[in-house]
Amino acid sequence: MNDDGILVLGHGTRDPRGTALFLQLEEMVGRKVKFCPVAVGFMEFAAPTAVDAAEKLVAAGAKRIVVAPVFLSSVGHMSEDVPQAIREASERVSPTPIVAAPYVGGSRKVAELSEKRFNEAIAAGPNVPLEDTLLILAAHGSPEPEAFDEFAAFVRRRSEWTPLGRVEACFSMMGAPRLADVLEEAAVGPFRRVVVQPHFILPGRLSEMVRAEAEKMRRLHPDKEWIASEPLGIEELLADAIVEVVNSFVP
């Protein structure tokens, strides 16, 4: 692995705050793989690009580049946009080979990070038993049926971390079940506490929308405790997930 370089690939955002946060992964992952150069690249909306990152890694001595796609789903970007980004980078740095590791969302470290955000969210609230708590995980969503199956599998893994009353999966933007419908069901359901957790990496417009939906339910149904957690965020556990998927791929 010492001759490899790691390209931490993100989608990219128009929000400069999100870009600055994601760029922190370069240093965070670099501390964990001290003998490999690490560079962050984005597919769109922000710089550096994937091509820029690949050129940086070759200049640092990488004989092969391993792309770590920082996506929470293998549906959509992983099947089209990531291969396209790799092709463009490969053309620029040929003959240095570029290969893709599995997507980061499949790592158990992401489920651990999700649990951490949940625990932070309920820490300041009333002492409601976990078995009387419903956790709603809201992902971006996709029209592809495989997206829900994959997310439901993550929710099953996530439920192993915390013995809650129930964990529900839903989508905030497209696909079914929709966040609004799941929230309405929660309002008439048996659970005293409902925690709504945006299953996104970066804060921004979508996570704020999820928070606003939870706040609306709190006003309409004050008999329950409604809490919105922070998104997953950029932190050590996410960097650990990146290293985990790279190590699972690299002999």
The reply to whether omega before 37 is within 30° of 0 (cis) is no
d(CA 116, CA 19): 23
Strand 193-198 to strand 64-69: parallel, antiparallel, or no bridges (unpaired)? unpaired
Residue with tokens 């976990």: 130
Residue with tokens 């989508």: 171
Enter the DSSP assignment of 105. G
Active site residue 11: yes
CA distances to 26, 41, 57, 108, 220 from 45, in Å: 18, 11, 21, 29, 37
**Long-range pairs of 203-206 with CB within 8 A, sequence gap ≥ 24:** 203/17, 203/18, 203/21, 203/230, 203/231, 203/233, 204/13, 204/15, 204/17, 204/18, 205/15, 206/140, 206/172, 206/173
Instruction: State the CB neighbour count (10 A cutoff) for residue 5.
Output: 26
39 φ/ψ sector (left φ>0, alpha ψ -120 to 50, else beta): beta
Of the listed 11, 77, 140, 199, which one is catalytic? 11
User: Annotated active-site positions, please?
Assistant: 11
